[in-house]
Amino acid sequence: MTVEVKADRELGWTRADTVRTSIAVSVAAALLGLAGYLAATDGEGLGGSNAALMLLIGAGLGILFERGRYCFFCIFRDLFEKKNSRGMYAILVSIAVGMIGYAAIFSTRIPTPSADNVPSDAHIAPVSIALVVAGLAFGVGMVISGGCIAGHLYRLPEGHLRSIPALGGVVVGFGLGFLSWDFMYSHFILGAPVPWLPAGNGYALAVLVQLGVLAAIGVWLLRWNPRVQGRADRTVDATELRRLVFFKRWPALTTGVAVGLLAILAYYKDQPLGVTQQISSLTRTGMTEVGWLDQFMPGLDERLAGCVAVVTHTITTNGWLILGIVLASLAAALPGRRFRVEKATAFNSSTAFAGGILLGWGSMIGLGCTIGVLLSGTHAFALSGWVFGAAILVASGLGFRFGLHRKAAPGAFPD
């Protein structure tokens, strides 16, 4: 497949560019000022000493998600609908980089890995039929709603109004997940194996196995990888630099490496990457306070690892990470003229809400989303990450094959 590159449009500079850039600079300054305040106060009462760092890591992710289009919905849609696999390499590279960093961290904390000393602070979850069902539900919800949870968080600041009902549906989905948790846990999750690749085999072999899998996937995807034909002669001046930084999509490999490095830093200093813990925690807290849930939930409060909910009345470091994603993606989108208010209708809002419910339920039963389970799980050499990812890939592939995204939002995805 060959992709012809269109001639670059003239950028120029308008009064609207001045307004957009001024707002972006103000948002960035506010974000840095907030991080400075959290650092100065050591996050007292506001998430603790790592609050500032996680806010900045979230900001880095927001920029990468927005500029590198590191969006599982977009990447899978390109793969299945356009036969374009370039975005998939960002995911593969971020897994490769992250797992090498995790292996280094694990080796200092657990020199001799075994099934009896699986790191409890990593996202290593049981593998059961519940995980598969959760991944399938999440994949369908992602297609119908127009994004995964992380995707909605960074696309909302771009003016993607369907993200509002989608995120509202996520909250409802978490609630339904909590209500169905006891049944799912007692029938499918309790007693399920928790495969961890380094257990009994060591970290070196686990790294080699996963690198081999990633390489095989990468080679297989080459047949769909488009060959870009562009101009060889380019003058790198201020205008071209502006185009590369703010307008053109960042390279997949660069984006993937950066996401992997931020994942390593987040785990080393605080916890694995994920974007559902704060949202699900607020949902659980509210349901507990009105008497819809018991204070104690088996599995969640005693043994399971993942991007899961706890009863809390304050913002956690995960909440600061989410805020960083939202604010930084807005600051990144404005200078590149990508803030466009999307037309929302009763129909496409209702489908986004329905898709969000599936996202939330799948995240609750699966103990996380594409970031918390798929990405952080594979970083930690957890088979659960691969199983969840495979289920999402199958469900989204079928969803795109039957055009569910176009039926859910007519006219939103022009060719």
Predicted local distance difference test score (pLDDT) of residue 3: 46
Mean pLDDT of the region 71-95: 95
Reported as a pLDDT band with limits 50, 70 and 90, residue 44 is confident
Mean pLDDT of the region 314-342: 95
Residue 2, phi then psi, degrees to nearest 5: -115, 135
Predicted local distance difference test score (pLDDT) of residue 6: 55
Domain ranges in the chain are 14-116+123-408
Residue type, 212: G
Mean pLDDT of the region 405-412: 89
Predicted local distance difference test score (pLDDT) of residue 8: 67
166-175, 288-297, 393-402, range with the lowest pLDDT: 288-297
Predicted local distance difference test score (pLDDT) of residue 226: 64
Reported as a pLDDT band with limits 50, 70 and 90, residue 173 is very high
CA Rg, the chain, in Å? 21
Predicted local distance difference test score (pLDDT) of residue 56: 98
Mean pLDDT of the region 163-167: 98
Predicted local distance difference test score (pLDDT) of residue 306: 72
Reported as a pLDDT band with limits 50, 70 and 90, residue 343 is confident
pLDDT tens-digit profile of 254-307?
Answer: 999 999 999 999 999 999 999 999 999 999 999 999 999 998 999 888 777 677
Mean pLDDT of the region 168-182: 97
β-strand pairing of 227-229 with 2-4? parallel
Mean pLDDT of the region 54-59: 98
Predicted local distance difference test score (pLDDT) of residue 224: 75
Predicted local distance difference test score (pLDDT) of residue 411: 76
The residue assigned the tokens 């001045």 is 18
Q: Average pLDDT, whole number, for the chain? A: 93
Reported as a pLDDT band with limits 50, 70 and 90, residue 4 is very low
Query: Which residues have a Cβ under 8 Å from the Cβ of 141 and sit 6 or more positions away?
Result: 173, 354, 355, 356, 357, 358, 359, 360, 361, 362
Residue type, 36: G
Mean pLDDT of the region 74-80: 96
77-91, 179-193, 230-244, 352-366, range with the lowest pLDDT: 230-244
Query: Which residues have a Cβ under 8 Å from the Cβ of 297 and sit 6 or more positions away?
Result: 178, 181, 182, 284
Predicted local distance difference test score (pLDDT) of residue 238: 87
Angle made by CA atoms 85, 170, 59, in degrees to the nearest 5: 60
pTM, to two decimals: 0.94
Mean pLDDT of the region 1-17: 71
Q: Which of 204, 206, 255, 325 minimizes the C-alpha distance to 92?
A: 255
Query: Which residues have a Cβ under 8 Å from the Cβ of 415 and sit 6 or more positions away?
Result: none
Predicted local distance difference test score (pLDDT) of residue 100: 98
